[in-house]
Amino acid sequence: DAGITQSPRHKVTETGTPVTLRCHQTENHRYMYWYRQDPGHGLRLIHYSYGVKDTDKGEVSDGYSVSRSKTEDFLLTLESATSSQTSVYFCAISETTANTGELFFGEGSRLTVL
Amino acid sequence: LAKTTQPISMDSYEGQEVNITCSHNNIATNDYITWYQQFPSQGPRFIIQGYKTKVTNEVASLFIPADRKSSTLSLPRVSLSDTAVYYCLVGDLPFKTIFGAGTRLFVKA
């Protein structure tokens, strides 16, 4: 299995508080992604990174920011959490963006915003 | 971005072959077709990928007709442990592919 660690795995917080989720990889893959998964929606891309300090928005980026200061770490921040951001968040990595680029996923972080 | 349509759910019995079809009518020339499997409380896991015709690996086969507007994931002789959600993705880059709602496969004894 790909070396991907997400932290925290579970978090309960209150509306309006800041939250940061961390994704750490030991594979030295260039590309990293944050997805959220909600019932009936499959996985939706929030942000992705194609290198240190290089990030871009995905399908559902509003209310989220990301940072990547090192190859191995990709942080997802909710500046002011809302109940609509209650979800399971998955980090993924890929070695390449070539057509055959396989995504490797972490175990997920379950966030509950009260 | 190519959208995909899959059945919401399927039931099968142990030992049977399961075929899950995915429709992707607006697939582009550079798009590949990729299938992922997801168990509860886990991230998705890559199963198989193809561009055209047939691809087979140790766990599944992928059949893609000449027009590439659909694809079929075939799981031979499923077991209870194959109960999962299966996602069909179409795209040329990981950040340009969309996960749909997937197909929930339930394998019964």
Tally the residues of chain A: 114
Distance from CA of B55 to the nearest CA of A (A): 13
Do residues A106 and A88 lie in contact, with contact meaning Cβ atoms separated by under 8 Å?
Answer: no
Q: What is the pLDDT of residues B7-31, one digit of tens each?
A: 999 999 999 999 999 999 999 898 8
Cβ of residue B40 closer than 8 Å to a chain A Cβ: no
Identity of the amino acid at B74: S
Take residue B99 and report the two structure tokens written for it: 């996960």
Q: What does chain A look like in DSSP terms, one character per residue?
A: ---EEEE-SEEEE-TT--EEEEEEESS--SEEEEEEEETTTEEEEEEEEEETTEEEE-TT-TT-EEEEEETTEEEEEESS--GGG-EEEEEEEES--STT---EE---EEEEE-
Distance from CA of B10 to the nearest CA of A (A): 16
Tell me what pLDDT residue A1 has.
Answer: 60
Chain A residues within 8 angstroms (CB to CB) of chain B: 31, 33, 35, 40-45, 48, 56, 58-59, 90, 92, 94, 97, 99-108
Per-residue pLDDT at B64 exceeds 80: yes
How do beta strands B9-13 and B103-108 pair?
parallel
Query: How big is chain B by its Cα radius of gyration, in Å?
Result: 13
Cβ of residue B86 closer than 8 Å to a chain A Cβ: no
How far apart are alpha carbons B33 and B44 in whole angstroms?
15
**Each residue of B44-61: b (16+ CB within 10 Å) or e?**
bbebbbbeeeebeeeebb
- A59–B99 C-beta distance less than 8 A: no
Take residue A87 and report the two structure tokens written for it: 């979800």
- B99–A43 C-beta distance less than 8 A: yes
Tell me what pLDDT residue A74 has.
Answer: 98
Do residues B103 and B9 lie in contact, with contact meaning Cβ atoms separated by under 8 Å?
Answer: yes
Do residues B22 and B87 lie in contact, with contact meaning Cβ atoms separated by under 8 Å?
Answer: no
Q: What is the pLDDT of residues B26-49, one digit of tens each?
A: 998 988 999 999 999 899 999 999
Q: What is the pLDDT of residues A47-85, one digit of tens each?
A: 999 999 999 999 899 999 999 999 999 999 999 999 999
- A31–B94 C-beta distance less than 8 A: yes
Best residue of A44, A99, A100 to probe chain B, by most B CBs closer than 10 Å: A99
Cβ of residue B5 closer than 8 Å to a chain A Cβ: no
Closest CA in chain B for residue A99: B92
